[in-house]
Amino acid sequence: MNRSFATQALQLLVLATLPLAAQADKVRAEEIVQGKCFICHGADGESSSPAFPRLAGQNAGYVVRQLSDYKTGKRKSTTMQPMVDDLSPADFKSLGEFFAGKPTMVHAVEDPELAQVGRFIYQRGNPYTGVASCATCHGSDGHGTETLPRLAGQHAQYTENQLKSFNKRERTNDNAVMHGIASKLSELELKSVAAYLSGLK
């Protein structure tokens, strides 16, 4: 059987088991993803470039808030703001549920030894410099909550870039606590935590 045909048949079967409203949301989300998101984030939220975040498995509520913040300008991005300008809150909700429902993948860690340092910092913090444990808010598995991002499996470079943005106060739409935490991380700690998170499922 042609793989493309088999994929379409499976999608139709899944849609047939959903309530009509949920079907419409799923179709709308797929339409937006195929028209905009896939270029940077991949069709299933599995971006191939470390410059863009992996969205597969990301918490739906968190996705909705970030998209809303891009639209209002609360979170700055010359790339994302034009992408969301014509989208509605209902579209944001559909996209959040779409990406949250995508399966996550296990990724190889580029530097396992560095990641072991990151594991310690993530789980326990650094009591000597006042760095708090990341797990306190984001969970020991890195899955976050509806209001805090899933960090597990994220590109190490993307996580590192975001921590640097918090430190420089270039990213201000999220919890201000992150500014204080990021400012205390050394370059080694920052890179090691990002490396550790990249390998979590």
Residue 6: per-residue pLDDT: 64
CATH numbers and ranges of domains, the chain? 3-100 (1.10.760.10), 112-198 (1.10.760.10)
Residue 22: per-residue pLDDT: 76
Instruction: Tell me the C-alpha distance between 114 and 137, whole Å.
Output: 22
Has residue 78 got a pLDDT over 90?
yes
Window from 16-20, 73-77, 123-127 with minimum mean pLDDT: 16-20
Residues 6+ apart with CB under 8 A from 123: 133, 134, 135, 140
Full-model pTM: 0.88
pLDDT bin (cut points 50, 70, 90) of residue 20 is confident
75 and 171 in contact (C-beta within 8 Å)? yes
Residue 124: per-residue pLDDT: 97
171: left (phi over 0), alpha (psi -120 to 50) or beta: beta
Helix %, strand %, coil % of the chain (to 5):
55, 0, 40
Instruction: Tell me the C-alpha distance between 62 and 60, whole Å.
Output: 5
- Residue 93: CA atoms inside 13 Å, Cβ hemisphere, count? 7
Segment 21-41 shows an average pLDDT of: 93
201 and 104 in contact (C-beta within 8 Å)? yes
Segment 70-81 shows an average pLDDT of: 96
Segment 52-74 shows an average pLDDT of: 98
Has residue 183 got a pLDDT over 80?
yes
Instruction: Tell me the C-alpha distance between 3 and 8, whole Å.
Output: 9
Which phi and psi angles does 131 have, rounded to 5°?
-75, 125
Segment 48-75 shows an average pLDDT of: 97
Window from 8-17, 113-122, 139-148 with minimum mean pLDDT: 8-17
